[in-house]
């Protein structure tokens, strides 16, 4: 469709037109043939060299992602009603795919997955934690955030505050300053609140917690991990808030050892265990997880029959994927060597660049290195409040496998190397 309307135009290559034809929303700087005079953060129509309409999105000359498309309809008017409708659509989707109880701690807006590029909104009970990574959204936050608050309150949700977690350096790449603080605060509400997930309570600090305060994407994977924990001796590596460990303890594990290199994380996990009355069958260890697992192997401590691996991302770029795969390989090989025949392994990667294919191949390589044969119970992804767009690979990032060691098939071998989390 040829278009002629008031918005400025960005003309892109034919290769870009073909790449974005099936829904990918990003137009890169090297795909732009020409652009009208456009204020950064404002809307522009993206057209082909034949003036065929591709979509409308936020323009930013400072960003490698030159345009982030938010609409592919020439009938859209980008007023307050447009953004309210889209917010309502995202909220209604979550009410459909999640229970009412799960909605009290969930991701309400997942960036491109909800057609709000660069916007993350997490609900933690009575607080919203917001992170904005695109200039176009930044300029419209006074439209978007009050509209979202209105939608929630009209549905009976008690929201006392909105906290901005824009304290990430990626904002500088978009020409925005880092910031952190209250957008809305009523009755001097505390930035620390208590959420309930899978029947377990957690203290969440939206001001100082990692990312937006708490990792919500593993919600149902924690439940799946807990479903096989009854009667087992569990080791939860990279426990962070203790979420996998607590789910397993609540699920009837004989004992759970929570391990993390961060003393602060261990204290947080311990506090959450006490909050839920689960400390009795749990222990907490401050240690590098590689060293912890190696020490157990060297001391022939094979008391664990269930190991959980949920490390931070080993890679945040395509350039370091190779080294990341080696890091995952070492960690998973150690766990497989430590587990007995019939033991269970839950293992995850939260990096988009570590694709499902690469991760699965790593698990096969780890099994060979450990001299074991694996049975896959199930493979899972992120919770549905982090929706995956089939046309946008970047929205599919979390891989989670439940596995069983069924045979020890050959001499175990292992190369002792060390890889660092980035």
Q: Which of 171, 190, 209 is the last residue of a domain?
A: 190
pLDDT at 190: 97
pLDDT band at 417; cut points 50, 70, 90: very low
pLDDT band at 247; cut points 50, 70, 90: very high
Residue predicted with more confidence, 199 or 173: 199
Hunting for tokens 């899978």 — which residue is that? 198
- The average confidence (pLDDT) of the chain is 93
241 & 344 share domain: yes
41 & 159 share domain: no
298 & 344 share domain: yes
For the stretch 121-137, pLDDT in tens is: 999 999 999 999 999 99
67 & 87 share domain: no
Asked if the model's pLDDT at residue 188 lies above 80, the reply is yes
DSSP 14-66: HHHHHHHTTS--EEEGGGEEEE----TTSEEEEE-TT-BEEEEEEE-TTSSEE
- CA Rg value for the chain: 23
pLDDT band at 2; cut points 50, 70, 90: low
Residue 165 lies in a domain: yes
For residue 386, give the CATH number of its domain: 3.40.50.150
Average confidence (pLDDT) over 349-372: 93
Task: Find the domain containing 260 and state its range.
Answer: 217-408
Q: Which helix (H) or strand (E) holds 183?
A: strand 179-185
Active-site residue among 157, 350, 410, 415?
350
**What distance in Å separates the CA atoms of residue 392 and residue 385, rounded to the nearest whole number?**
16
**pTM above the 0.85 mark?**
yes
Average confidence (pLDDT) over 367-371: 96
The residues, any chain, with a CB within 8 Å of residue 156's CB and separated by 6 or more, are: none
Residue 207 lies in a domain: no
122 & 66 share domain: no
**What distance in Å separates the CA atoms of residue 348 and residue 310, rounded to the nearest whole number?**
5
Asked if the model's pLDDT at residue 421 lies above 50, the reply is no
pLDDT at 1: 61
- Dmax (CA) for the chain in angstroms is 74
Average confidence (pLDDT) over 79-87: 98
Residue 319 lies in a domain: yes
pLDDT at 416: 44
Joined tokens for residue 337 = 């060597």
Joined tokens for residue 75 = 């009938």
pLDDT at 166: 96
For residue 133, give the CATH number of its domain: 3.30.750.80
For residue 41, give the CATH number of its domain: 2.30.130.10
Q: What percent of the chain has pLDDT over 90?
A: 87
386 & 237 share domain: yes
228 & 305 share domain: yes
Asked if the model's pLDDT at residue 415 lies above 50, the reply is no
Average confidence (pLDDT) over 297-309: 96
- 251 conformational bin, left if phi > 0, alpha if psi -120 to 50, beta if neither: alpha
Asked about 237 being catalytic, the answer comes back as no
Residue 262 lies in a domain: yes
For the stretch 189-229, pLDDT in tens is: 999 999 999 999 999 999 998 777 799 999 999 999 999 99
244 & 335 share domain: yes
For the stretch 100-119, pLDDT in tens is: 999 999 999 999 999 999 99
Residue 418 lies in a domain: no
Residue 157 lies in a domain: yes
271 & 356 share domain: yes
Weakest-pLDDT range from 86-90, 188-192, 315-319, 378-382: 315-319
Domain count, the chain: 3
368 & 279 share domain: yes
């Amino acid at each position: 469709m040829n278009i002629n309307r008031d918005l400025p135009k960005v003309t892109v290559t034919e290769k870009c037109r073909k790449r974005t034809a099936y829904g990918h929303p990003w137009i890169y700087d090297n795909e732009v043939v020409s652009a009208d005079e456009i204020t950064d953060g404002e809307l522009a129509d993206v057209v082909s060299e034949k003036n065929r309409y591709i979509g409308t999105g936020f323009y930013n000359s400072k960003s490698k992602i030159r345009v982030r498309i938010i609409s592919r309809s020439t009938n859209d008017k980008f007023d307050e009603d447009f953004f309210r409708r889209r917010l309502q659509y995202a909220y209604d989707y979550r009410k459909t795919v999640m229970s009412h109880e799960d909605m009290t701690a969930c991701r309400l807006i997942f960036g491109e997955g909800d057609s709000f590029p660069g916007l993350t909104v997490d609900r933690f009970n009575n607080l919203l934690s917001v992170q904005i990574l695109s200039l176009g959204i930044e300029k419209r936050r006074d439209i978007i955030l009050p509209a979202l608050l209105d939608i929630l309150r009209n549905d009976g949700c008690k929201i006392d505050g909105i906290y901005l977690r824009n304290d990430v350096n990626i904002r500088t790449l978009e020409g925005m300053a880092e910031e952190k603080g209250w957008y809305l605060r009523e009755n001097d509400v505390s930035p620390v609140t208590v959420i309930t997930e899978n029947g377990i309570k957690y203290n969440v600090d939206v001001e100082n917690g990692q990312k937006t305060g708490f990792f919500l994407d593993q919600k149902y994977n924690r439940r799946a991990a807990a479903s096989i924990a009854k009667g087992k001796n569990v080791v939860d590596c990279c426990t962070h808030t203790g979420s996998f460990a607590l789910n397993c303890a609540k699920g009837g594990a004989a004992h759970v050892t929570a391990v993390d290199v961060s003393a602060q994380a261990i204290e947080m996990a311990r506090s959450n265990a006490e909050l839920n009355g689960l400390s009795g069958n749990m222990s907490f260890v401050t240690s590098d997880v590689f060293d912890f697992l190696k020490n157990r192997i060297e001391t022939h401590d094979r008391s664990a029959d269930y190991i959980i691996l949920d490390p931070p991302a080993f890679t945040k770029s395509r350039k370091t994927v190779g080294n990341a795969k080696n890091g995952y390989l070492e960690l998973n090989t150690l766990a497989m060597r430590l587990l007995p025949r019939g033991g269970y392994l839950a293992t995850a990667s939260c990096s988009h660049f570590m694709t499902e294919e690469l991760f699965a191949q790593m698990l096969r390589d780890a099994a060979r290195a450990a001299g074991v044969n694996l049975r896959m119970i199930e493979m899972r992804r992120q919770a549905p409040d982090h929706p995956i767009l089939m046309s946008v690979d970047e929205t599919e990032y979390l891989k989670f496998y439940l596995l069983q060691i069924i045979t020890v098939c050959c001499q175990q071998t292992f190369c002792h190397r060390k890889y660092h989390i980035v």
